[in-house]
Structure 1
């Protein structure tokens, strides 16, 4: 039976224990702006559907969504284009390869990304976001994110976006390959600009937990009684979070933690405990797979203490 956190102090005890693991990781350095993050910081927030919540750690720290944004744009693309269209261009299967690998694109037939959570798939999905310009499409993404987090002040980190744009040669390579395969049909620089801004959307772990709670409640904001995402699309997104959300450590994470989750190389993790709560974590020190090393340990502790795994009977 799932139990609830009862106090910030209770949660802080878990943060203090997990924080020791930050020493074993390091911040992302291939995006220059992310190197400025403090590797020993760790924060967590839990958001329950009744509006209650708890938080602990360095909760005022901001994180950029990075790959967590892939879940949000997937939901938007499915709402914009429909399931048949989206999955005619991107697959549904996990991969054991790194998230930015080009290898499977060259060997698979038809040559389309295996899933929306790897970079090739996420670029394909972002390409599907409707709008007449990069600015219009990005504004739609921002409005969607703000609505889910119930925070109209969410914006994006221009320094991180610019840093990513200037160092996106691999993503450009993936995009040009996909355009050659007739998967992408727009100017690559427009797509890279939109994608890097999407990844640079900035918030704290409390905002992230509220977004996770919407997915946990099948796309519904229970407090406002608003169905933000259709139930079936929320289900699809959560399924990808289970099978592909933690890069090529997703299988191990499913066994050790057992909740739908998505990580990003800024150190963020968004968790959605089905029917129960959303979890937002930020810890910039990463393991070798690109996941927050202390964040994963903290989620393992929380899953055990509160019996969060969706696979528990």
Structure 2
């Protein structure tokens, strides 16, 4: 079923787009710095196959931190919650997503949660496979199944750009290796992690993955339980408590839906039992979230009473 342009969504996108002037694209990753800051698009995918949209929903974006939710689901399926949470915590942090501060003050020095960079690096370290390529292909195959698109790929340009500038992530990884949380070659881990972050899709595919989380791991098209219920619920809980970096508390109060953002300007939302949302708006606020994307979700949540609280 093709995605239908929605006049209501177009009105909300027009209103939210005004906020792009107050944001800034993520130019610290050179390949992301070329995005048009005024872009804004949204797709909403329903369980019955219906889809509504506004803006240029076919525009590709790299997943960046949105991939953290998906890699967490895969690793929880691979290893089980007790193994994973022995190595990464479950608590929100008020610090920026790339901060090292809490690692230095925590004992043991494990990351507070899987949505900050330190925690995501530990999760990616746990992806099973005998080589970097095999581990990446497992994650990519899982994402292709969730997005129902075998052509989903990663941008070599974005991955290389991130790899060459990943000084902070290398620092986090070496710190974690010193404390035996990470036990592989740091350069290989950074290679895998930057490829993971550079996986590309459009708003439609993002909304479909959001829908699967919204439906507790069930693919509505096939009826297949792709992600076990308890794992989908763990992931959604992290999206609520930690998904929007250190703006997650304010986001929960104002909008109140499980969501995960990335510094490319993507946001994946999962309205429990109802629908999935995919948004692309590359102009970011000071915390690394799509400034117009958040405004758009706020308008949606208020207009249609979407908050789960």
Same-fold status (TM-score > 0.5): yes
| Distance in 2, Cα, partners of 1:134 & 1:223 | 32
Aligned alpha-carbon RMSD (Å): 1.1
> Normalising to structure 2: TM-score of the pair?
0.98
Q: Which residue of 2 aligns with 1:244?
A: 242
* Equivalence map 1:204-215=2 (5 Å): 204-215=202-213
Q: Which residue of 1 aligns with 2:125?
A: 127
Q: Which residue of 2 aligns with 1:148?
A: 146
Q: Which residue of 2 aligns with 1:44?
A: 42
SS, match of residue 10 in structure 2: helix
| Distance in 2, Cα, partners of 1:60 & 1:77 | 29
Aligned length: 307
Q: Which residue of 1 aligns with 2:270?
A: 272
Indicate conservation of the 8 Å contact 2:5/2:54, yes or no: no
1:304: how far off?
1.1
| Distance in 2, Cα, partners of 1:201 & 1:22 | 24
Q: Which residue of 2 aligns with 1:55?
A: 53
1:74: how far off?
0.3
1:306: how far off?
1.5
| Distance in 2, Cα, partners of 1:285 & 1:195 | 23
| Distance in 1, Cα, partners of 2:305 & 2:156 | 39
Q: Which residue of 2 aligns with 1:161?
A: 159
* Equivalence map 1:18-167=2 (5 Å): 18-167=16-165
Aligned equivalent of 1:293, options 291, 294, 304: 291
SS, match of residue 129 in structure 2: coil
**Stretches of structure 1 lacking an aligned partner (at least 5 in a row):** 1-5
**Stretches of structure 2 lacking an aligned partner (at least 5 in a row):** none
> Normalising to structure 1: TM-score of the pair?
0.97
1:7: how far off?
5.8
Tell me whether 1:171 sits opposite 2:169 in the alignment.
yes
- Where do 4+ consecutive residues of structure 1 move more than 4 Å? none
| Distance in 2, Cα, partners of 1:160 & 1:222 | 32
Q: Which residue of 1 aligns with 2:260?
A: 262
* Equivalence map 1:195-206=2 (5 Å): 195-206=193-204
Give a deviation string over 1:30-86, Cα, whole Å, max 9, x none: 111100100000000000011111111121211100000000000011011110000
Q: Which residue of 1 aligns with 2:14?
A: 16
| Distance in 2, Cα, partners of 1:257 & 1:41 | 22
Q: Which residue of 1 aligns with 2:179?
A: 181
